[in-house]
Structure 1
Protein backbone atom coordinates (compact mmCIF):
# COMPACT_ATOMS: atom_id res chain seq x y z
CA UNK A 1 0.00 0.00 0.00
CA UNK A 2 2.67 2.50 1.03
CA UNK A 3 4.68 2.00 -2.11
CA UNK A 4 1.60 2.72 -4.22
CA UNK A 5 1.29 6.10 -2.51
CA UNK A 6 4.94 6.87 -3.24
CA UNK A 7 4.58 5.82 -6.86
CA UNK A 8 1.62 8.16 -7.23
CA UNK A 9 3.72 10.94 -5.70
CA UNK A 10 6.39 10.22 -8.28
CA UNK A 11 3.94 10.35 -11.17
CA UNK A 12 2.28 13.55 -9.98
CA UNK A 13 5.54 15.34 -9.30
CA UNK A 14 6.79 14.40 -12.75
CA UNK A 15 4.04 16.23 -14.64
CA UNK A 16 5.67 19.65 -14.73
CA UNK A 17 6.05 21.22 -18.17
CA UNK A 18 6.16 25.02 -18.07
CA UNK A 19 7.84 25.98 -21.30
CA UNK A 20 10.74 28.29 -20.39
CA UNK A 21 11.34 28.03 -16.65
CA UNK A 22 14.92 28.17 -15.39
CA UNK A 23 13.98 26.65 -12.02
CA UNK A 24 10.62 25.16 -11.07
CA UNK A 25 9.72 23.77 -7.69
CA UNK A 26 6.51 21.92 -6.82
CA UNK A 27 5.18 20.25 -3.69
CA UNK A 28 2.39 17.66 -3.64
CA UNK A 29 0.55 15.65 -1.04
CA UNK A 30 -1.09 12.26 -1.51
CA UNK A 31 -4.23 11.41 0.44
CA UNK A 32 -6.41 8.38 0.88
CA UNK A 33 -9.89 8.46 2.42
CA UNK A 34 -10.01 8.42 6.22
CA UNK A 35 -6.22 8.11 6.47
CA UNK A 36 -5.75 11.66 5.18
CA UNK A 37 -2.23 12.66 4.13
CA UNK A 38 -0.05 9.61 3.50
CA UNK A 39 2.95 11.19 1.78
CA UNK A 40 4.56 14.32 0.38
CA UNK A 41 6.82 14.93 -2.59
CA UNK A 42 9.01 17.79 -3.71
CA UNK A 43 10.14 18.15 -7.32
CA UNK A 44 12.65 20.57 -8.84
CA UNK A 45 13.60 21.21 -12.46
CA UNK A 46 16.71 23.26 -13.22
CA UNK A 47 17.84 24.03 -16.75
CA UNK A 48 19.71 26.39 -19.00
CA UNK A 49 19.97 26.55 -22.77
CA UNK A 50 21.75 23.19 -23.12
CA UNK A 51 21.40 21.11 -19.93
CA UNK A 52 18.74 20.12 -17.39
CA UNK A 53 18.45 18.36 -14.05
CA UNK A 54 15.28 17.05 -12.37
CA UNK A 55 15.15 15.88 -8.76
CA UNK A 56 12.12 14.44 -6.99
CA UNK A 57 11.96 13.26 -3.39
CA UNK A 58 8.92 11.40 -2.03
CA UNK A 59 8.47 10.62 1.66
CA UNK A 60 5.83 8.62 3.45
CA UNK A 61 4.23 10.40 6.42
CA UNK A 62 2.13 9.45 9.43
CA UNK A 63 0.85 5.87 9.38
CA UNK A 64 2.45 5.24 5.99
CA UNK A 65 5.84 6.26 7.38
CA UNK A 66 5.45 3.79 10.25
CA UNK A 67 4.34 0.95 7.98
CA UNK A 68 7.09 1.57 5.43
CA UNK A 69 10.02 1.86 7.82
CA UNK A 70 10.46 5.56 7.03
CA UNK A 71 10.55 4.98 3.27
CA UNK A 72 12.11 7.71 1.14
CA UNK A 73 12.43 7.58 -2.65
CA UNK A 74 14.68 9.99 -4.55
CA UNK A 75 14.66 10.19 -8.35
CA UNK A 76 16.93 12.22 -10.61
CA UNK A 77 17.10 12.74 -14.36
CA UNK A 78 20.00 14.59 -15.96
CA UNK A 79 20.66 15.26 -19.60
CA UNK A 80 20.79 17.70 -22.46
CA UNK A 81 18.27 19.72 -24.45
CA UNK A 82 17.65 19.21 -28.16
CA UNK A 83 15.18 21.39 -30.08
CA UNK A 84 13.46 22.37 -26.83
CA UNK A 85 13.02 18.80 -25.55
CA UNK A 86 14.72 17.13 -22.61
CA UNK A 87 16.95 14.19 -23.61
CA UNK A 88 18.16 12.10 -20.65
CA UNK A 89 21.75 10.94 -20.26
CA UNK A 90 21.39 9.43 -16.77
CA UNK A 91 18.29 8.45 -14.79
CA UNK A 92 18.61 7.26 -11.19
CA UNK A 93 16.47 6.07 -8.32
CA UNK A 94 17.57 5.88 -4.69
CA UNK A 95 15.21 4.01 -2.35
CA UNK A 96 15.76 3.90 1.43
CA UNK A 97 13.83 2.24 4.25
CA UNK A 98 14.41 0.21 7.41
CA UNK A 99 18.21 0.51 7.21
CA UNK A 100 18.27 -0.64 3.57
CA UNK A 101 19.23 1.34 0.50
CA UNK A 102 19.06 0.51 -3.22
CA UNK A 103 20.53 2.78 -5.87
CA UNK A 104 20.01 2.07 -9.58
CA UNK A 105 21.41 4.26 -12.36
CA UNK A 106 20.48 4.00 -16.02
CA UNK A 107 22.83 5.25 -18.74
CA UNK A 108 21.43 6.22 -22.15
CA UNK A 109 23.41 5.50 -25.32
CA UNK A 110 21.17 7.20 -27.85
CA UNK A 111 23.62 6.73 -30.73
CA UNK A 112 23.48 2.93 -30.35
CA UNK A 113 19.87 2.84 -29.10
CA UNK A 114 20.53 1.05 -25.82
CA UNK A 115 20.25 1.68 -22.08
CA UNK A 116 22.58 0.08 -19.54
CA UNK A 117 22.30 0.11 -15.76
CA UNK A 118 24.26 -0.37 -12.56
CA UNK A 119 22.58 -1.28 -9.28
CA UNK A 120 24.03 -1.37 -5.77
CA UNK A 121 22.42 -2.40 -2.50
CA UNK A 122 23.36 -1.46 1.06
CA UNK A 123 22.30 -2.57 4.52
CA UNK A 124 23.13 -0.33 7.49
CA UNK A 125 25.56 1.59 5.30
CA UNK A 126 27.48 -1.47 4.06
CA UNK A 127 27.55 -2.64 0.44
CA UNK A 128 25.80 -6.01 0.09
CA UNK A 129 25.51 -6.50 -3.68
CA UNK A 130 25.98 -4.89 -7.07
CA UNK A 131 25.10 -5.81 -10.61
CA UNK A 132 25.20 -4.41 -14.14
CA UNK A 133 23.21 -5.06 -17.29
CA UNK A 134 21.43 -3.81 -20.38
CA UNK A 135 17.70 -3.20 -20.59
CA UNK A 136 15.74 -5.44 -22.98
CA UNK A 137 14.42 -2.33 -24.75
CA UNK A 138 15.54 1.14 -25.76
CA UNK A 139 13.65 4.32 -24.90
CA UNK A 140 14.72 7.87 -25.63
CA UNK A 141 13.01 9.15 -22.46
CA UNK A 142 12.92 8.30 -18.81
CA UNK A 143 9.65 8.71 -16.90
CA UNK A 144 10.53 12.30 -15.94
CA UNK A 145 11.81 13.60 -19.26
CA UNK A 146 8.77 12.06 -20.94
CA UNK A 147 6.38 14.00 -18.75
CA UNK A 148 8.27 17.24 -19.14
CA UNK A 149 8.04 16.65 -22.90
CA UNK A 150 4.44 15.42 -22.94
CA UNK A 151 2.75 18.67 -23.94
CA UNK A 152 5.03 18.98 -26.96
CA UNK A 153 4.28 15.35 -27.86
CA UNK A 154 0.50 15.71 -27.45
CA UNK A 155 0.13 19.12 -29.02
CA UNK A 156 -3.43 20.41 -28.65
CA UNK A 157 -5.11 18.96 -25.53
CA UNK A 158 -8.51 19.56 -27.09
CA UNK A 159 -7.77 17.10 -29.88
CA UNK A 160 -7.82 13.29 -29.58
CA UNK A 161 -4.49 11.69 -28.72
CA UNK A 162 -4.15 8.03 -27.72
CA UNK A 163 -0.78 6.39 -28.05
CA UNK A 164 1.68 4.00 -26.44
CA UNK A 165 4.94 5.75 -25.52
CA UNK A 166 8.08 4.34 -23.92
CA UNK A 167 10.21 5.47 -21.00
CA UNK A 168 12.76 4.01 -18.63
CA UNK A 169 11.04 3.72 -15.26
CA UNK A 170 7.71 2.60 -16.70
CA UNK A 171 6.80 -1.04 -17.50
CA UNK A 172 9.85 -3.21 -16.77
CA UNK A 173 10.13 -5.30 -19.92
CA UNK A 174 9.17 -2.74 -22.56
CA UNK A 175 8.98 0.70 -20.89
CA UNK A 176 5.44 1.03 -22.24
CA UNK A 177 3.07 3.71 -20.98
CA UNK A 178 -0.18 4.82 -22.61
CA UNK A 179 -1.26 8.47 -22.82
CA UNK A 180 -4.77 9.56 -23.78
CA UNK A 181 -6.34 13.00 -23.89
CA UNK A 182 -9.93 13.16 -22.60
CA UNK A 183 -11.80 15.32 -25.10
CA UNK A 184 -15.30 13.87 -25.40
CA UNK A 185 -17.98 15.62 -23.34
CA UNK A 186 -18.70 12.62 -21.10
CA UNK A 187 -14.98 12.00 -20.55
CA UNK A 188 -14.36 15.61 -19.57
CA UNK A 189 -17.32 15.73 -17.19
CA UNK A 190 -16.12 12.52 -15.53
CA UNK A 191 -12.57 13.87 -15.20
CA UNK A 192 -13.79 17.21 -13.83
CA UNK A 193 -15.87 15.49 -11.13
CA UNK A 194 -13.08 13.04 -10.31
CA UNK A 195 -10.29 15.59 -10.10
CA UNK A 196 -12.21 18.60 -8.81
CA UNK A 197 -10.62 20.83 -11.44
CA UNK A 198 -12.48 22.69 -14.18
CA UNK A 199 -11.28 23.90 -17.59
CA UNK A 200 -8.14 21.78 -17.48
CA UNK A 201 -6.25 19.59 -19.90
CA UNK A 202 -7.34 16.12 -18.79
CA UNK A 203 -5.17 13.07 -19.38
CA UNK A 204 -5.56 9.38 -18.64
CA UNK A 205 -2.21 7.68 -18.16
CA UNK A 206 -2.06 3.88 -18.08
CA UNK A 207 0.99 2.45 -16.35
CA UNK A 208 1.46 -1.25 -16.99
CA UNK A 209 2.85 -2.27 -13.61
CA UNK A 210 1.40 -4.85 -11.23
CA UNK A 211 2.61 -2.86 -8.24
CA UNK A 212 -0.19 -0.38 -8.80
CA UNK A 213 -2.77 -3.04 -8.00
CA UNK A 214 -5.37 -0.91 -9.70
CA UNK A 215 -7.69 -1.48 -12.61
CA UNK A 216 -5.32 -1.01 -15.52
CA UNK A 217 -3.04 1.25 -13.46
CA UNK A 218 -5.16 4.22 -14.55
CA UNK A 219 -3.92 7.62 -13.43
CA UNK A 220 -6.10 10.66 -14.22
CA UNK A 221 -4.47 14.09 -14.37
CA UNK A 222 -5.58 17.71 -14.58
CA UNK A 223 -3.06 20.10 -16.17
CA UNK A 224 -3.17 23.88 -16.19
CA UNK A 225 -2.57 25.88 -19.37
CA UNK A 226 1.14 26.10 -18.50
CA UNK A 227 1.32 22.30 -18.20
CA UNK A 228 1.49 22.13 -14.40
CA UNK A 229 -0.50 19.26 -12.90
CA UNK A 230 -2.85 20.43 -10.16
CA UNK A 231 -4.53 17.13 -9.29
CA UNK A 232 -4.20 13.39 -9.89
CA UNK A 233 -6.21 10.30 -9.02
CA UNK A 234 -5.00 6.71 -9.19
CA UNK A 235 -8.19 4.74 -9.76
CA UNK A 236 -9.46 1.63 -7.99
CA UNK A 237 -6.42 0.53 -6.02
CA UNK A 238 -7.20 -2.97 -4.76
CA UNK A 239 -8.64 -2.87 -1.22
CA UNK A 240 -8.21 0.90 -0.96
CA UNK A 241 -10.17 2.59 -3.76
CA UNK A 242 -9.00 5.90 -5.21
CA UNK A 243 -5.73 7.52 -4.13
CA UNK A 244 -5.50 11.28 -4.67
CA UNK A 245 -2.65 13.70 -5.17
CA UNK A 246 -2.86 17.50 -5.21
CA UNK A 247 -0.57 20.45 -5.73
CA UNK A 248 -0.01 22.51 -2.57
CA UNK A 249 2.91 24.76 -3.52
CA UNK A 250 4.53 25.89 -6.77
CA UNK A 251 7.20 28.42 -7.75
CA UNK A 252 8.69 29.32 -11.11
CA UNK A 253 11.92 31.35 -11.07
CA UNK A 254 13.54 32.64 -14.26
Structure 2
Protein backbone atom coordinates (compact mmCIF):
# COMPACT_ATOMS: atom_id res chain seq x y z
CA UNK A 1 0.00 0.00 0.00
CA UNK A 2 2.93 2.38 0.39
CA UNK A 3 3.04 2.96 -3.39
CA UNK A 4 -0.41 4.54 -3.26
CA UNK A 5 1.22 7.39 -1.36
CA UNK A 6 3.74 7.96 -4.16
CA UNK A 7 0.80 8.61 -6.44
CA UNK A 8 -0.66 11.00 -3.88
CA UNK A 9 2.68 12.84 -3.81
CA UNK A 10 2.67 13.23 -7.56
CA UNK A 11 -0.84 14.64 -7.34
CA UNK A 12 0.35 17.21 -4.81
CA UNK A 13 2.28 19.33 -7.33
CA UNK A 14 1.40 22.85 -6.21
CA UNK A 15 1.24 26.12 -8.11
CA UNK A 16 3.28 29.20 -7.19
CA UNK A 17 1.19 30.82 -4.49
CA UNK A 18 1.83 32.12 -0.98
CA UNK A 19 -0.52 29.61 0.64
CA UNK A 20 -2.36 26.80 -1.14
CA UNK A 21 -4.24 23.74 0.03
CA UNK A 22 -5.65 20.82 -1.96
CA UNK A 23 -7.28 17.43 -1.36
CA UNK A 24 -6.92 14.33 -3.56
CA UNK A 25 -8.58 10.94 -3.73
CA UNK A 26 -7.15 7.73 -5.22
CA UNK A 27 -9.25 4.82 -6.53
CA UNK A 28 -8.08 1.41 -7.74
CA UNK A 29 -9.98 -0.31 -10.56
CA UNK A 30 -13.18 -1.90 -9.24
CA UNK A 31 -12.58 -0.60 -5.70
CA UNK A 32 -13.80 2.63 -4.15
CA UNK A 33 -11.51 5.39 -2.87
CA UNK A 34 -8.38 3.81 -1.39
CA UNK A 35 -6.48 6.89 -0.24
CA UNK A 36 -6.96 10.55 0.62
CA UNK A 37 -4.22 13.18 0.83
CA UNK A 38 -4.37 16.73 2.14
CA UNK A 39 -1.60 19.04 0.95
CA UNK A 40 -0.56 22.49 2.11
CA UNK A 41 2.21 24.73 0.81
CA UNK A 42 3.23 28.07 2.30
CA UNK A 43 5.90 30.56 1.27
CA UNK A 44 6.87 33.28 3.73
CA UNK A 45 8.28 36.58 2.49
CA UNK A 46 9.56 34.85 -0.68
CA UNK A 47 12.42 33.47 1.46
CA UNK A 48 11.30 30.25 3.17
CA UNK A 49 8.76 27.55 2.41
CA UNK A 50 6.99 24.61 4.03
CA UNK A 51 5.16 21.77 2.29
CA UNK A 52 3.08 19.39 4.37
CA UNK A 53 1.13 16.35 3.19
CA UNK A 54 -0.83 13.90 5.30
CA UNK A 55 -2.06 10.82 3.48
CA UNK A 56 -4.22 8.01 4.78
CA UNK A 57 -5.63 4.82 3.35
CA UNK A 58 -9.38 4.22 3.34
CA UNK A 59 -11.74 1.33 2.71
CA UNK A 60 -10.13 -2.01 1.88
CA UNK A 61 -6.69 -0.42 1.72
CA UNK A 62 -7.10 0.76 5.31
CA UNK A 63 -7.95 -2.77 6.45
CA UNK A 64 -5.14 -4.45 4.49
CA UNK A 65 -2.52 -1.90 5.56
CA UNK A 66 -3.41 -1.83 9.25
CA UNK A 67 -4.77 1.73 9.13
CA UNK A 68 -1.71 3.14 7.40
CA UNK A 69 -1.07 6.87 7.72
CA UNK A 70 1.82 8.73 6.14
CA UNK A 71 2.98 12.30 6.76
CA UNK A 72 5.47 14.13 4.55
CA UNK A 73 7.12 17.44 5.32
CA UNK A 74 9.67 19.56 3.45
CA UNK A 75 11.21 22.82 4.71
CA UNK A 76 13.82 25.10 3.21
CA UNK A 77 14.54 28.31 1.37
CA UNK A 78 13.39 30.00 -1.83
CA UNK A 79 16.00 31.22 -4.31
CA UNK A 80 15.00 32.81 -7.60
CA UNK A 81 11.59 31.18 -7.36
CA UNK A 82 13.02 27.70 -6.75
CA UNK A 83 12.53 25.68 -3.59
CA UNK A 84 15.78 24.43 -1.99
CA UNK A 85 15.16 21.88 0.79
CA UNK A 86 16.97 21.94 4.12
CA UNK A 87 15.07 19.00 5.60
CA UNK A 88 12.63 16.40 4.29
CA UNK A 89 10.85 13.98 6.59
CA UNK A 90 8.34 11.19 6.30
CA UNK A 91 6.38 9.34 8.97
CA UNK A 92 4.81 5.96 8.28
CA UNK A 93 2.45 4.66 10.92
CA UNK A 94 0.13 1.67 11.29
CA UNK A 95 -1.75 0.24 14.24
CA UNK A 96 1.39 -1.61 15.31
CA UNK A 97 4.37 0.42 14.10
CA UNK A 98 5.68 3.95 13.56
CA UNK A 99 8.83 4.84 11.64
CA UNK A 100 10.15 8.37 11.11
CA UNK A 101 12.87 9.22 8.59
CA UNK A 102 14.48 12.66 8.48
CA UNK A 103 16.75 13.71 5.62
CA UNK A 104 19.05 16.72 6.13
CA UNK A 105 20.64 18.33 3.07
CA UNK A 106 24.23 19.62 3.01
CA UNK A 107 24.21 21.22 -0.43
CA UNK A 108 27.70 22.66 -0.06
CA UNK A 109 29.32 19.26 0.38
CA UNK A 110 26.65 17.43 -1.64
CA UNK A 111 25.75 15.09 1.18
CA UNK A 112 22.37 14.02 2.58
CA UNK A 113 22.14 12.74 6.15
CA UNK A 114 19.41 10.23 6.99
CA UNK A 115 18.10 9.74 10.53
CA UNK A 116 15.74 6.83 11.28
CA UNK A 117 13.62 6.79 14.42
CA UNK A 118 11.71 3.64 15.34
CA UNK A 119 10.49 3.32 18.90
CA UNK A 120 13.41 4.10 21.19
CA UNK A 121 15.99 3.41 18.50
CA UNK A 122 17.64 6.25 16.55
CA UNK A 123 20.21 5.83 13.81
CA UNK A 124 21.88 8.58 11.76
CA UNK A 125 24.07 7.96 8.73
CA UNK A 126 25.12 9.42 5.39
CA UNK A 127 22.49 8.52 2.81
CA UNK A 128 23.35 6.35 -0.20
CA UNK A 129 23.37 9.27 -2.63
CA UNK A 130 23.01 13.05 -2.85
CA UNK A 131 20.15 14.76 -4.66
CA UNK A 132 19.46 18.50 -4.73
CA UNK A 133 15.74 18.10 -4.05
CA UNK A 134 13.19 15.92 -2.33
CA UNK A 135 10.15 14.54 -4.11
CA UNK A 136 7.91 17.35 -2.81
CA UNK A 137 10.10 20.22 -3.95
CA UNK A 138 10.75 18.48 -7.26
CA UNK A 139 7.08 18.46 -8.17
CA UNK A 140 6.75 22.07 -7.07
CA UNK A 141 9.79 23.08 -9.15
CA UNK A 142 8.83 20.98 -12.15
CA UNK A 143 7.37 23.97 -13.98
CA UNK A 144 10.79 25.64 -13.91
CA UNK A 145 12.34 22.64 -15.65
CA UNK A 146 9.70 22.00 -18.27
CA UNK A 147 8.94 25.47 -19.65
CA UNK A 148 10.60 24.49 -22.92
CA UNK A 149 8.52 21.28 -23.00
CA UNK A 150 11.63 19.17 -23.33
CA UNK A 151 12.10 15.78 -21.69
CA UNK A 152 14.04 16.08 -18.45
CA UNK A 153 15.96 13.77 -16.10
CA UNK A 154 15.75 14.89 -12.47
CA UNK A 155 16.91 13.50 -9.13
CA UNK A 156 15.22 13.71 -5.74
CA UNK A 157 15.22 12.06 -2.35
CA UNK A 158 12.05 9.97 -2.43
CA UNK A 159 12.44 9.03 -6.10
CA UNK A 160 14.19 5.87 -7.27
CA UNK A 161 15.84 4.12 -4.33
CA UNK A 162 18.95 3.61 -6.45
CA UNK A 163 19.81 7.21 -7.35
CA UNK A 164 16.62 9.27 -6.98
CA UNK A 165 16.10 9.48 -10.72
CA UNK A 166 12.76 10.75 -12.05
CA UNK A 167 12.10 11.23 -15.78
CA UNK A 168 9.64 13.81 -17.11
CA UNK A 169 8.52 12.98 -20.68
CA UNK A 170 6.29 15.11 -22.93
CA UNK A 171 4.08 13.19 -25.39
CA UNK A 172 4.35 13.49 -29.16
CA UNK A 173 1.13 14.52 -31.00
CA UNK A 174 -0.14 10.95 -31.33
CA UNK A 175 0.59 10.07 -27.71
CA UNK A 176 -0.96 13.38 -26.61
CA UNK A 177 -4.27 12.50 -28.24
CA UNK A 178 -4.23 9.10 -26.54
CA UNK A 179 -3.44 10.69 -23.21
CA UNK A 180 -6.22 13.26 -23.58
CA UNK A 181 -8.63 10.43 -24.30
CA UNK A 182 -7.40 8.54 -21.25
CA UNK A 183 -7.81 11.63 -19.08
CA UNK A 184 -11.18 12.51 -20.70
CA UNK A 185 -10.11 16.13 -21.24
CA UNK A 186 -8.15 18.29 -23.64
CA UNK A 187 -7.62 21.11 -21.16
CA UNK A 188 -4.34 21.79 -19.37
CA UNK A 189 -0.90 20.29 -19.87
CA UNK A 190 0.01 16.61 -20.20
CA UNK A 191 3.17 14.70 -19.34
CA UNK A 192 4.43 11.30 -18.26
CA UNK A 193 6.41 11.03 -15.04
CA UNK A 194 8.60 7.93 -14.68
CA UNK A 195 9.55 7.22 -11.06
CA UNK A 196 11.99 4.44 -12.06
CA UNK A 197 10.69 2.23 -9.29
CA UNK A 198 8.26 -0.66 -9.22
CA UNK A 199 4.69 0.34 -8.39
CA UNK A 200 2.61 -2.83 -8.16
CA UNK A 201 3.00 -4.51 -11.60
CA UNK A 202 4.33 -1.37 -13.31
CA UNK A 203 8.06 -2.01 -13.75
CA UNK A 204 9.13 1.64 -13.87
CA UNK A 205 6.24 3.40 -12.16
CA UNK A 206 5.00 5.37 -15.19
CA UNK A 207 2.32 7.94 -14.37
CA UNK A 208 0.21 9.95 -16.80
CA UNK A 209 -0.25 13.48 -15.45
CA UNK A 210 -2.77 16.20 -16.35
CA UNK A 211 -1.93 19.65 -14.99
CA UNK A 212 -4.59 22.36 -15.01
CA UNK A 213 -3.80 25.78 -16.40
CA UNK A 214 -3.31 27.11 -12.85
CA UNK A 215 -0.51 24.58 -12.34
CA UNK A 216 -2.40 22.16 -10.09
CA UNK A 217 -2.52 18.48 -10.95
CA UNK A 218 -6.10 17.53 -11.84
CA UNK A 219 -5.58 13.84 -12.48
CA UNK A 220 -2.93 11.11 -12.55
CA UNK A 221 -3.27 7.58 -13.91
CA UNK A 222 -1.13 4.48 -13.36
CA UNK A 223 -2.40 2.09 -16.02
CA UNK A 224 -3.12 -1.67 -16.00
CA UNK A 225 -2.20 -2.54 -12.41
CA UNK A 226 -2.44 -6.20 -11.43
CA UNK A 227 -5.84 -7.64 -12.41
CA UNK A 228 -8.08 -4.74 -11.54
CA UNK A 229 -7.30 -1.95 -14.03
CA UNK A 230 -5.96 1.55 -13.35
CA UNK A 231 -5.03 3.44 -10.24
CA UNK A 232 -6.55 6.90 -10.67
CA UNK A 233 -5.94 9.98 -8.56
CA UNK A 234 -8.24 13.00 -8.84
CA UNK A 235 -8.23 16.44 -7.22
CA UNK A 236 -11.54 16.83 -5.39
CA UNK A 237 -11.01 20.32 -3.93
TM-score range, shorter chain: over 0.9
Aligned mate of 2:151, from 159, 162, 182: 162
Question: 1:1-254 alignment to 2 at 5 Å?
Answer: 2-13=1-12, 15-16=13-14, 18-19=15-16, 21-48=17-44, 49-122=46-119, 127=120, 129-156=121-148, 159=149, 161-182=150-171, 184-249=172-237
In the TM superposition, residue 198 of structure 1 has moved relative to its aligned partner by 1.5
* In structure 1, distance between residues paired with 2:5 and 2:133: 21
Partner of 1:252: none
Q: TM-score when scaled to structure 2?
A: 0.95
How many residues are matched? 236
**Unmatched runs of 5 consecutive residues or more in structure 2:** none
Q: TM-score when scaled to structure 1?
A: 0.89
In the TM superposition, residue 223 of structure 1 has moved relative to its aligned partner by 0.5
Q: CA RMSD in A?
A: 1.3
In the TM superposition, residue 177 of structure 1 has moved relative to its aligned partner by 0.7
In the TM superposition, residue 235 of structure 1 has moved relative to its aligned partner by 2.1
* In structure 1, distance between residues paired with 2:76 and 2:60: 36
Regions of 4+ moved over 6 Å: none
**Unmatched runs of 5 consecutive residues or more in structure 1:** 250-254
* In structure 2, distance between residues paired with 1:10 and 1:212: 16
In the TM superposition, residue 25 of structure 1 has moved relative to its aligned partner by 0.2
